[in-house]
Amino acid sequence: MITHIIEAILLTSSAPVTVQQLLEALADSDTNEAEVEAALTALESRWDRTDSGIRLERVGGGFRCVTPAQLDPYLRSFHGIVSRQRLSQAALEVLAIVAYRQPVTLPEINFVRGVASGGVVRTLLERRLIRVSGRKAVVGKPFLYRTTKEFLVHFGLESVGDLPEPEELDRSEPSAD
């Protein structure tokens, strides 16, 4: 029964659901964390098959239901989605700088990129992929920026610790020989 309740919660939630949120929802049933984890494992193994249209993904500190990538064209067609909003190269560059150097200021971002990035930072703030996390104790007290939970969800990460090491990224680029 607990697995069915958790399955329904995950299928109807628009955001990743934490184990703590599941425990709160199941408070009347005297369910403990180990039982919730067992139910999540059961769902993960049930859905982690090639003939299943649902997957359980650990992202943003919680769990969410996703569909396999190969079903994307069918879902887009059914839901009438013509195009997806992609991030520009500049936005990806700024996100990478913030993700790897957080907390980071706009002048630091501009220095790394070599160009003014204020407009890109505003766009990323509007999309809630980054947030202001305070001010740096230097002259002018510039804002400090960090990535958000939405960033983790957007890129399918459980935490920023799941980002690849920069050295790994260098090795994955094709050589210019």
Residuewise pLDDT in 10s, the chain (177 residues): 899 999 999 999 989 999 999 999 998 888 899 999 999 999 999 998 888 999 999 998 899 999 998 998 898 889 887 766 789 999 999 999 999 999 999 999 999 999 999 999 999 999 999 999 999 999 999 999 999 998 998 888 888 988 888 777 666 555 554
**pLDDT at 24 (0 to 100):** 93
The architecture CATH gives domain 89-172:
Orthogonal Bundle (1.10)
The architecture CATH gives domain 2-78:
Orthogonal Bundle (1.10)
Greatest CA separation for the chain: 64
- Which two three-digit tokens encode residue 38? 């067992």
HSE, side-chain direction, 13 A CA sphere, residue 80 = 0
**pLDDT at 81 (0 to 100):** 77
- Domain residue ranges in the chain: 2-78, 89-172
Alpha-carbon distance of 66 to 11, in angstroms, equals 9
**pLDDT at 86 (0 to 100):** 84
**pLDDT at 7 (0 to 100):** 94
Alpha-carbon distance of 124 to 162, in angstroms, equals 21
Strand partners, 146: 131
Burial class, 166, CB count within 10 angstroms (exposed 0-12 / middle 13-18 / buried 19+): exposed
Q: Do domains 2-78 and 89-172 have the same CATH topology?
A: yes
**pLDDT at 177 (0 to 100):** 46
State residue 132 phi and psi, 5-degree precision: -80, 130
Alpha-carbon distance of 154 to 69, in angstroms, equals 14
